[in-house]
Amino acid sequence: MTVITRFAPSPTGKLHVGNIRAALHNWLWARKMGGKCLLRIDDTDTARSEERFVESIRADLAWLGLDMDGEVRQSARFALYEEKFQALRAAGRVYPCFETAQELEIRRKILLGRGLPPVYDRAALALTPEEIAAREAAGERPHWRFRLDHEAAIEWTDLVRGPQHFDPQLLSDPVIRRADGSWLYMLPSVIDDIDMGISHVLRGEDHVSNTATQIQMFAALGGETPQFAHMALLTGAEGKLSKRLGAIGVSDFRDAGIEPMAINALLARLGTSDPVEPVADMAPLIEHFDFARFGRAPARFSEEELSGLNTRIVHLLPYEAVADRLPAAVTPAVWPVIRPNLETLAQAADWLPVLEGDIAVAALGEEDRAFLAQAADMLAQADFSDDPWRALTGALKEATGRKGKALFLPLRLALTGMDHGPDMAALLPIIGKARALDRLRAAAAQVAAD
């Protein structure tokens, strides 16, 4: 069997965390099995779908490294939907209904008040052809429902949730078409899955009941039912997928300096028994993707965990992978020196003043000023070609008796303007002898003049 998966976003907004996770899972499974992952733009809702969101979906997937193997748009497939709809109508599997939303809500409340499941009572099936024609002649337009087979038990083995059983009599016949002729999600999705040869449908567990009804649609249309995997939903820090989390999109991650691989590495492992680990590319995520590793408990998404993972991934990135995103002053020699001190790639620019610009030094005491003046004199005479930092600090330690923080901190402050940062043994040669001498002398002289 050729594995074909699909990611099917609606272009009514930007991709958020849950969308990204669904896209990633479908892509990982297809890549692991040597198959294909297709992009299906679910734009049947023409009133809310916007082309700018289609473009942002494509751009976001590309930024994440999720290259799709083809794209279809539902808005270009209405003729196919109409053909299949008419076939179902002729077979008696769809039927017109004239109840208003208010009428349906009243019936629902009555059933709930009686302690009964709010299942549609199929009252519209009692309408005769003459009654239907009369209502349509009077200007009423029906919505359409798919008629479930109450005698056929609905069963499947979910790749995450295990054996699933639904009694069709406890399910409402789903509305598949609105009174204005527009399509709801259920039927077009099944038609597309059959037509596109989808072998696996990977989505959130909030679609489980949809799957139950769609399985009968696959059968009614004579199509092969794909395998299903329903992942536990993501939750936020408050124990529930908050509106804020549901609104966090790829652009927000990008603006915050989060690397694509950090997002992929986190979302690939959330909800599994595997640890979330920093990776430099997709290969280990593909290799270890396995439905058996996913549990049914909600998966907690943490921005703090993502940020920490991002830092660890930045520390893995080779210069060649990020060269086009770094300032020109950050050369192949500079990158491994400053990389361990970065949380995001954008922070590389923060080190430009230290590398080649002017720095500000906090006021130092008289003893430290004298110490820096002595350091400048020693550095001026030192051979800068072979480990100048250790030569300088070794000579200063012997001459002054200083050691530890008293020895190293004034030098770091004078040379970088910071009390922390890269290994000075690696950084000093990059700063250069002339600039280092200027900074040591300026630090001593500047504070002495106060």
The 8-class DSSP code of residue 203 comes to E
Return all residues near 299 (Cβ < 8 A) that are at least 6 apart.
231, 232, 233, 234, 235, 270, 271
Q: Is 223 exposed, middle or buried (0-12, 13-18, 19+ CB in 10 A)?
A: middle
Query: How many separate helices (H) and strands (E) can be counted in the chain?
Result: 20, 12
CB distance 98 to 133 below 8 Å: no
Residue 319 has pLDDT above 70, yes or no: yes
Give me the mean pLDDT over the 120-130 stretch: 96
Residue 243 annotated as binding? yes
Alpha-carbon span 424 to 174, nearest angstrom: 68
Average the pLDDT over 263-276 and give the result: 94
Assign domain 358-448 to a CATH class.
mainly alpha
pLDDT digits (tens, 9 = 90+) for 42-63: 999 988 999 999 999 999 999 9
Token pair, residue 228, equals: 């299903």
Positive/negative CA dihedral, 395, 401, 404, 410: negative
The per-residue pLDDT for range 354-404, each reduced to its tens digit, is: 998 889 888 889 999 999 999 999 999 988 888 999 999 999 999 999 999
The burial of 164, by beta-carbon neighbours within 10 Å (0-12 exposed, 13-18 middle, 19 or more buried), is given as middle
pLDDT digits (tens, 9 = 90+) for 194-231: 999 999 999 999 999 999 999 999 999 999 999 999 99
Distance CA 211, CA 201 (A): 10
Q: Are 269 and 306 in contact (CB under 8 A)?
A: no
**What is this structure's pTM?**
0.89
Tell me the three state secondary structure of residue 312: helix
Q: Enter the tokens of residue 397.
A: 């330690």
Domain ranges of the chain: 319-355, 358-448
Q: According to the model, what pLDDT value does residue 358 have? A: 87
Under DSSP, is residue 71 helix (H, G, I), strand (E, B) or coil? Answer: strand
According to the model, what pLDDT value does residue 335 have?
Answer: 97
Residue (of 92, 228, 110) closest to 173 by Cα position = 92
Give me the pLDDT at residue 155, please. Answer: 97
The DSSP H or E segment spanning 119 is none
Query: Rounded mean pLDDT of 298-304?
Result: 88
